[in-house]
Structure 1
């Protein structure tokens, strides 16, 4: 039986779902409040340095253009450069990802920002009422901009009890110290942690098949593939334990 992996649900061939922790509405709201504060400061700075002396109509057009530039340009630029993490999302431990779990690109960030400006929050959004309504009825907490862009917001912070599952296998400790973990994405880390946390709920075949797929993805990211005879569980545990050790 084939196995499929997607963010939001990590589904094994035995129909065991590993939840990748879609962000809750409350944490998204706090993150958005941080971003609004940043945008307000940016608008204030832009207005202070903007040229003055035009007639009222031109002044109004300039003010509107600058406002749209900040409200659309800020989330587009920041989320594109950081692969889905605005200031607010960084503070709250959130990230925007594609529906298939991959990192977002410029077009995803732009569509989300345009959806946020025109529908979710500002032009037609009634101060965020539409975003709130749509998110409440979405299984994955999506707003209109997420549906248009094909994205969702996930949590990148894992409770301590799950982090502790990744103990360092002694036989792999020396190998792990030499790893380059700079390209290891939060999405892969989340999937690996969920695999380890639900390991004992899986059948033997699912443990191997799902673990092998995750190990292949992790190995490609860290440029140190799993040795064929090494079981996926200690391999993934070693990578996560080393990552935690370096984070302090």
Structure 2
């Protein structure tokens, strides 16, 4: 079994990102945590549903209603709600928490698309719906162990990967200009840096780490492209005067790290 398997992904901005795959250990621990939380939720639901059903049947029994089929209907409705809770748990958290559930957040792993972007509703829902098949006879475990990208069936169908969460190398040896550092101080007041996702930060960090090895023309084109996209993303009308694209990206990098503490 491989440990710390890594994968390189090419983003739509033509920047290659390298991620460490989550591994079977982290994924199993995350799933156990999620299943314990989910079990508590489902137990609570069944207790409340049982109380509701008994009350309803008692009410029907006191009248002249024909409720012979009511218990079967109540059971069918309960099973349907149980399914939606099970599927909805993973779908809700992975969409709202950018690829993480409580278990994944605890183990510091998360789900991303094959191109490094955050997953959406369709990917999260598809992974959740196929989870029972992956859990059956540990089918998903065999796919994870035998595949180079450590994907279960739900990941193959949804086009996703489970990776170790990247916090950003806070002490990375990057050259940050004095002008960029000054701009980074004012940037949170000028724009909404909360719109930046970890993947956006990873793209900026990767560019800043690799820009020295790039061809000058390719570097200029890429930095301008990234700067325009980030400016739009954080709601900044214009890049401050006398600020190059590289300096703006450095400022975004610096400001985001301060924002994350």
TM class by shorter chain equals 0.7 to 0.9
Q: Secondary structure at the residue paired with 1:164?
A: coil
CA contact (8 A) 2:17 2:202 kept: no
Structure 1 distance, partners of 2:12, 2:222, is 7
Establish whether residue 139 from structure 1 lines up as the match of residue 139 from structure 2.
Answer: no
Alignment of 1:1-248 (within 5 A): 8-10=8-10, 17-51=16-50, 53=54, 61=76, 64-117=79-132, 119-121=133-135, 125-126=136-137, 129-158=138-167, 160=169, 163-166=171-174, 168-176=176-184, 177-179=186-188, 180-224=192-236, 226=239, 230-248=243-261
**Structure 1: which 5+ runs fail to align?**
1-6
Distance 1:157 1:96, change over 3 A: same
**Structure 2: which 5+ runs fail to align?**
1-6, 58-69
TM-score (norm 1): 0.76
Q: How far 1:108 moved relative to its partner?
A: 1.8
Structure 2 distance, partners of 1:228, 1:10, is 32
Greater displacement, 72-81 / 182-191: 72-81
CA contact (8 A) 2:9 2:114 kept: no
What are the Cα deviations for residues 61-115 of structure 1, in whole angstroms up to 9, with x where unaligned? 5664454233212112222333322112222333323333333322221111001
TM-score (norm 2): 0.73
Structure 1 distance, partners of 2:159, 2:177, is 38
Structure 2 distance, partners of 1:16, 1:183, is 20
Structure 1 distance, partners of 2:178, 2:84, is 53
Structure 1 distance, partners of 2:140, 2:122, is 20
Q: How far 1:190 moved relative to its partner?
A: 1.4
Q: How far 1:38 moved relative to its partner?
A: 1.4
Distance 1:102 1:157, change over 3 A: closer
Q: How many residues were matched structurally?
A: 234
Distance 1:237 1:154, change over 3 A: farther
Q: Secondary structure at the residue paired with 1:9?
A: strand
Q: How far 1:194 moved relative to its partner?
A: 2.1
Larger Rg: 2
